[in-house]
Structure 1
Amino acid sequence: MDMKETARRLVEICVDDAEGVDAVARAGADRIELCGALALGGLTPSAALVAHAVRSGLPVHAMVRPRDGDFRYAAADIALADEEIRRLIDLGVAGVVVGAMADDHRLDLDQLARWRDLAKDVAIVLHRAIDLVADPVAAVEAVAGLGYDHILTSGGAPTAPEGVEGIAAMVRAAAGRLAIIAGSGVSAENAVDLIARTGADAVHASASIRQAWSDSRIAAMGFATGPRRRTSEARIVALCRAMGKGNIQ
C-alpha cells in the first residue's frame, strides 16, 4: 500500500478535555472522538466540552456512555443515554458512539437499532463493545444490517496490533457497507503497517502520555484513580506524518 492510499485513511484522535481538542485541531488529524474520563474508558462528555470541540471545525463523534463498567444497561441507563444522544445532536456533533450488550457475549441488537433510529440525522458508531462478543466478525453483518456507519474495534484482542487478523476479517465482512476503525494501541510506529495488513478505513488513537500528579494527595484523596492521561500534540503530529497527512511542515 503506497503513501497516497494510506493518506486516504482517516486519523481519529480520542480526547477528554479542551486542551486535547485544541491539540488535535493544531496537529491536523481528521476527526475527534470526544469523551469524558478516558481513564474510565470514556464516558459521555459535558455539554460545554462538546460545544468547544464543535467550534474547532473538525468533525466530532461524541461518546454516549452514561456510566463506567460493562455495557449491560438498566432501563434508567438507557433513558439517560437516549437523552444524551438528543442533546449531543442539538449541540452539533457529526456522530455518536454507542454500544450495548445483551449478555456477556452478545450485542443488544434491539437497543442498537433503537439508537440508530434516534440518531438518524448523524453518523453512528459501534464502539469496542464488539470486541467482547463471542464472534466479532459475525457481529459485523448484524451491525451493518442495522445501518451503522462505523465500527471501532481492536479485532477482539486487547490492542489492534494484536488483533490484526480479526480486524482484517471484519473489514472483509463489512464489504464496504460501513467503515472499520482500528483502535487501541495505535501509534505512529504501527499505524501504516496496521492499515496495510487489515485494510481498515481509519485508525483511532488517544496519542496520550501518562502524567503523574505533582501533588500525591490527588490520588490518595480519591480525586483520581491514577496518573492523568494527557493528549500529546507531538504524538498526534507523528501519527499524522506517518499516515501522510496533517500539519506536518
Structure 2
Amino acid sequence: MAIILEICVETMASIAAARAGGADRIELCSALALGGLTPSAGLIAAAVAQPLPCHVMIRPRGGDFAYDADEVAQMERDIAYAAGAGMAGVVFGAARDGALDRPVLDRLMACVRTAGRPLSTTLHRAIDTLDDPVAAIEVAVGLGLDRVLSSGGATTALTGIETLRAMHERAAGRLKVMAGSGINAGNVAALLAAGVDEIHASCSSPRPSENAALHRLDFAATVPITDAGRVRALREAIDS
C-alpha cells in the first residue's frame, strides 16, 4: 500500500505547490508559526474547491491544549462548519496535566459523529506533550480516532523514532501513526523502516517580507511557502 504524504499549508499557493509535488492530502491551517490554528472560512471554501482532500486544523488559539468551555464550544462549531463546507477530515487535540483530556475529546468526537457527513479524524501533536504518548494510543483507539500525528514526543520525528516505533506497535493496525516534524527526503526512509503509516511535512521555507514597516511594528514578517521541489523529492524518497 502506498504511503500517504500529507503537506501542511496555510495558503492556496502552498496547496498548488503541494499538488505539483505529488502530495496526497492537505492539512489546512492558519498561523503555522504557532503550530497551526483553524483557518478562515474563505480559505476553507477555496481549498475544498481544489482536488486534493483536505483535513482542517481545529485549534482555537496558540499555546497549550487545555481548553475552557467556551473554547470547546468554538471547536465544536468549527467542526460542524468544516463538515458543512465539504472538508474530508478534521485535526484536533486536547490535553491536561500530562494526559489526553478525554471529556473534551469525547465531545469533539461526538460532534464528528453528528456532523452529517463522514469526517476522517486526526489527533494532532498534543500527544507529544503527554507524559506517556505510547500509552495514549489506547485512549486514541478508544475514542475512535483514525490516526495520530506525532514526532514521538521529541523535537523532530527522527529524534523520536523509537517512541514512534513503539506507538506503531501499540496501535497494531487499530489506527494509523503519522510521523511529522523535520521530515525530508534525506531522513524519511528511517521513519518508514520504523513502521509509521503516513508522513506529514511542510516542505516549506520562510519568505521574509521586504516591507520595513512590518519589522518595525513587530508584525509577522515571514510567510512559510511550500516548495514543490521539496515535496517532489520527499514523494520520490517515500516511493523508492
Structure-1-length-normalised TM-score: 0.91
2:198 is matched with 202
Q: Tell me, what secondary structure is at the counterpart of 1:230?
A: strand
- The partner residue of 1:233 within 224, 228, 231 is 228
CA deviation map 1:191-217 (0-9, x unaligned): 122111x20111100101122221232
Write the distance in 2 (CA, Å) between the matches of 1:67 and 1:130: 17
Say whether 1:143 aligns with 2:137. no
Write the distance in 1 (CA, Å) between the matches of 2:72 and 2:108: 10
Identify the range of structure 1 (156-165 vs 118-127) with the bigger mean alpha-carbon deviation: 118-127
Say whether 1:244 aligns with 2:211. no
Question: Which runs of 4 or more aligned residues in structure 1 lie more than 6 Å from their structure 2 counterparts after TM superposition?
Answer: none
CA deviation map 1:212-233 (0-9, x unaligned): 2212321321321x53221111
1:124 is matched with 121
Contact 2:134 2:163 in 1 (8 A): yes
- Number of aligned residue pairs: 236
* Cα shift at 1:171: 0.2
Contact 1:25 1:56 in 2 (8 A): no
Write the distance in 1 (CA, Å) between the matches of 2:4 and 2:17: 17
The one-letter code sitting in structure 2 at the alignment partner of 1:212 is P
- The partner residue of 1:115 within 108, 112, 124 is 108
Contact 2:21 2:230 in 1 (8 A): no
| % identical aligned pairs | 45
Structure 1: gaps (5+ residues): none
Q: Tell me, what secondary structure is at the counterpart of 1:119?
A: helix
Say whether 1:51 aligns with 2:45. yes
Structure-2-length-normalised TM-score: 0.95
* Cα shift at 1:172: 0.4
The one-letter code sitting in structure 1 at the alignment partner of 2:40 is S
Write the distance in 2 (CA, Å) between the matches of 1:98 and 1:176: 21
- The partner residue of 1:183 within 180, 187, 192 is 180
Say whether 1:17 aligns with 2:11. yes
CA-based RMSD: 1.3
Structure 2: gaps (5+ residues): none
